Amino acid sequence: MDVGERVSNPDVIVVGAGLAGLACARALVQSRLKVVVLEAGDAPGGRVRTDAHEGFLLDRGFQVYLTAYPEGRKLLDLEALRLRRFMPGAKVWRQGRLCTVADPLRQPMTALSHLLDVPGTFGDKLRVLELRQLSRSGEDEDVWLRPQRTSRRYLEELGFTEEMVEGFLRPFLAGIFLDRSLNTSSRFLEFVFRMFASGEAGVPEQGMGVIAEQLAAKLPPVALRRHAPVADVWGHRVRLADGEMLGAKAVVVATDPLAAARLLPGMPVPTMNAVTCLYFAAPEPPVEGPWLLLNGDGKGVVNNVAVMSEVSPAYAPRGQALVSVSVLGVHSDEAALRERVSVELAEWFGAAVTDWRHLRTYSLPFALPAQTVAALEPPHRPVRLSPGLYVCGDHRDSASIHGALGSGRRAAEAVLLDMGL
């Protein structure tokens, strides 16, 4: 556990230094409250962490930041993150080759030159523009108030062909939802399209973990206690795993949803979607440029691939490339999974895959709360449990960086309201 100078007699204890907890703590500190953030791990970030490994930067699971996130625009210094952008579009592995799908509004010439090369009909391309327009209509909050149905039904109502759904939309959305069933709420689908249409997708130059580091740096140095796992929460008091007791005027539980349910009896545990992320070092990038690559064949285990060093060169040592591969779900035999992934990607990129070196595999059984129709009704779940006891995290909002930051803000506002501030 961290030792040294600490906050004495805190006004608020925040349990967990993920993005929600950090956003909550920052808002409370800005209102001149004394705050202590208790983090079980060795660094802030929760599920948004980056590990340095043999000169590579490995995000804990493939993640991107969308510059249009409303909460991010309020809270983050995007210029300081030095975001490196993905191309507005994707390359899709289909029928034995990689096809280019480009955003017709941002890359009109590229989109036109590949018009007949991509999944779906010309009408499907027009329907993508219609979906883009629908998702961007109204204010940001309007998306969460619209009638819900499953994403599958919503896409059918818009008239997308099966070829377009299977060849592009399903793998693209599965990479975001971590679910190929398309049972995700149409509200979340519209939110995602709104964010992609209104901004850009990218990663901080030095990895996704920089987002949490930036938030933590805006807290007083003594506010964050690492290696401080919490065993119990009783009203306004917490007991750490080593037996230390701390009390405050308010406690905010900002952990992952499973830990929150353990600390707060009666807290529902949402269905969680799982993903496995495999990282490989390659002598050369298998594709040039910051592209997202999708499996549009509907076969195999690979869902999406990204050469992270093509997005930000800092992700890999000079002269090497970092390849990220996402497989939905978790798999008990990691060695067999690596072999299967290598065989599949050899079809995509040829014999050069045999020269790739496996770096690390992240199995994430609780990567993202499922965003079903039931889960998003209401779209923003309560953060105030009782006077002086609060909860926040993406499981109380949308399963996104935006949702995590927003729930942290809402929890802070509830604390301040109950304190008369």
What pLDDT, on a 0 to 100 scale, did the predictor assign at position 382?
A: 96
Q: pLDDT > 70: what percent of the chain?
A: 95
- Given this model, what pLDDT does residue 102 score? 74
Is residue 265 classed exposed, middle or buried when 0-12, 13-18 and 19+ CB atoms within 10 A define those classes? Answer: exposed
Distance CA 335, CA 253 (A): 37
CA 328 centroid distance within chain: 14
User: Residue 167: exposed, middle, or buried by beta-carbon count in 10 A (0-12, 13-18, 19+)?
Assistant: buried
- Is the predicted pLDDT of residue 68 greater than 90, yes or no? yes
What distance in Å separates the CA atoms of residue 74 and residue 68, rounded to the nearest whole number?
11
pTM for the full predicted model = 0.94
Residue 55 sits at φ, ψ, to 5 deg, of 85, -5
The pLDDT confidence band at residue 113, using thresholds 50, 70 and 90, is: very low
3-state helix, strand, coil in the chain (%, to 5): 35, 25, 35
Q: Which pLDDT score is estimated for 120?
A: 83
Asked if pLDDT for residue 69 goes beyond 50, the answer is yes
Question: Comparing C-alpha atoms, which of 393, 392, 386, 387 is closest to residue 411?
Answer: 392
Q: What SS3 state is found at 189?
A: helix
State pLDDT tens for residues 153-203. Answer: 999 999 999 999 999 999 999 999 999 999 999 999 999 999 999 999 999
**Six token digits for residue 106:** 């941002």
- What is the rounded (10 degree) CA torsion for 118, 120, 122, 128? -100
Q: With CA atoms as reference, report the closest residue to 67 among 410, 403, 402.
A: 402
pLDDT of residue 122: 87
State the sign of the Cα–Cα–Cα–Cα dihedral 56, 57, 61, 67. negative
95-104, 115-124, 127-136, 192-201: segment of lowest average pLDDT: 115-124
Beta strands 292-295 and 302-307, pairing class: antiparallel
What pLDDT is attached to residue 43?
96
- pLDDT (average), residues 63-81: 97
Q: How many CA atoms lie within 13 A of 215 on its CB side?
A: 34
365-416, pLDDT tens digit by residue? 999 999 999 999 999 999 999 999 999 999 999 999 999 999 999 999 999 9
Work out the average pLDDT over 289-305: 96
Q: 2 pLDDT band (50/70/90 cuts)? A: low
What one-character-per-residue DSSP string does 309-321 give?
HHH-GGGS-TT-E
pLDDT at 1 over 50: no
Give the three-state DSSP class for 245: strand
- Dump pLDDT digits (tens) for 28-55: 999 999 999 999 999 999 999 999 999 9
Is the CB of residue 144 less than 8 Å from the CB of residue 379?
yes
Q: Which two tokens stand for residue 171?
A: 């793998």
Say what the pLDDT of residue 10 is: 96
Q: Which domains does the chain have, with CATH numbers?
A: 12-49+208-270+375-418 (3.50.50.60), 50-84+272-369 (3.90.660.20)
CA-based torsion, 126, 130, 132, 133: positive or negative:
positive
* 150: DSSP letter: B
Q: How far is CA 351 from CA 76, 98, 335, 346, in A?
A: 43, 16, 20, 6
pLDDT digits (tens, 9 = 90+) for 258-271: 999 999 999 999 99
Mean pLDDT of the chain, nearest integer: 94
